[in-house]
Structure 1
Amino acid sequence: MKKKKPIYKRIWFWIIVVLFIIVGVNMTGSKTNNSNTAAESSSSSAADKSDQQSSVASEATSESKTADVPAEYQSALNKGTTYASAMNMSKAGVYDQLVSQSGEKFSAEAAQYAIDHLKADWNKNALNKAKSYADSMHMSKAGIYDQLTSQSGEKFTAEEANYAIENVKADWNKNALAKAKTYQKDMDMSPDAVREQLTSENGEKFTADEANYAIQNLNK
């Protein structure tokens, strides 16, 4: 009679063992994945809540700051923004308009608050003013600079005026000619008198070359 092989020497025994091991590994991996997914979901949810809380806190802080600002100050800021954006005024020009007794009549404190919180590109404002003077009034480069920086004019800083002059696109010869024709037609001035007015420091402040161009083309 043949001896039976021990069970651990039988092939089917090891097949069953291997299957049990595979099933066990898969179940462990599934639990791990589920655990990781749950952890990630929890972390994402916590992050979303944190963002929402930060947003609410930020809005509350902003509303609180706005509520703390006196109505006069906010009104001055609104007016200042209009002057800067719609009329291309300088910082000093906006301030003076806000406190002027013939202007907005705000207190100095309210006007200063407006200036401190006003968001404006003063270089851009100076450039827009320069373009307007060059295109509509045919002014010279020097004349525009003086008008931009004048305390009885636009009151821009020297740096802002220089930026404007360096970036404005204008035909100064053409402007000089337009001015010369105006003097000749409206004031019956002689060519020599026109030339003098064009180059005068108390007049138009064109260069000698620009004035010569104007005189040479005056009757063309």
Structure 2
Amino acid sequence: MKRLSSLGVILLSATLLVACSSNSSSSSGAKEDVKTVQSSKPSEVKKEEPKVPMEHKNALKSAENYIATMPFSKARLYDQLTSDAGSKFPADAAQYAIDNIKVDWNKQALKSAKNYMKISPMSTEQLREQLTSEAGEKYTPEEAQYAIDNLDK
């Protein structure tokens, strides 16, 4: 009888040890998973945006103000930002503004075309020349074509 009791205690102990060890390994695995997830989140949060110089930020704000006032092509806006008669930003700050402003350049060309047609109606070719000319608005040929194609819409 003592043997049976001892054997029962040993079996019970062995069963408990096996059960505990399998729970502890799965729970330690879960802890490892949690640690992995937790350790990956701080690295995501630590990603820093590159520092943008104040001059670049100001050029972008100035470009946004110009666009809000009247339509500009990329080239003309760049000229306005860098011109001695304009904002006098350095070339790199003006280029940053051009690269980062959220503008639909086709729509800018269309606005310019509509303005021209209100002031002085002209032929399609004269309008194209005015929109793309170095002495005019400096839109790309594609932007000018978009404006011409959508003028009546």
The aligned residue for residue 128 of structure 1 is 111
Q: In the alignment, does 2:60 pair up with 1:65? A: no
Q: In the alignment, does 2:136 pair up with 1:161? A: no
- d(CA) in 1 for partners of 2:70, 2:64: 10
Q: In the alignment, does 2:116 pair up with 1:96? A: no
1:51-62 pair list within 5 angstroms: 57=45, 61=47
Deviation at 1:86, TM superposition (A): 3.1
1:35-114 pair list within 5 angstroms: 57=45, 61=47, 64-65=48-49, 68-114=51-97
Q: In the alignment, does 2:132 pair up with 1:149? A: yes
Q: In the alignment, does 2:101 pair up with 1:118? A: yes
Mapped contact 1:134–1:140 kept (Cα < 8 A): no
Q: CA RMSD in A?
A: 2.3
Task: Kindly indicate whether structure 1 or structure 2 has the higher relative contact order, using CA contacts under 8 Å at least 6 residues apart.
Answer: 2
Q: Which runs of 4+ in 1 moved over 6 A?
A: none
- d(CA) in 1 for partners of 2:140, 2:68: 18
Deviation at 1:129, TM superposition (A): 0.7
Q: Could you list the runs of 5+ residues in structure 2 that have no partner in the other structure?
A: 1-33
Mapped contact 1:84–1:90 kept (Cα < 8 A): no
Q: Which amino acid aligns with 2:152?
A: K
- Partner of 1:65, secondary structure, is coil
Q: Which amino acid aligns with 1:65?
A: E
TM-score normalized by structure 1?
A: 0.47
- d(CA) in 1 for partners of 2:59, 2:86: 12
Mapped contact 1:148–1:156 kept (Cα < 8 A): yes
Q: How many residues align?
A: 115
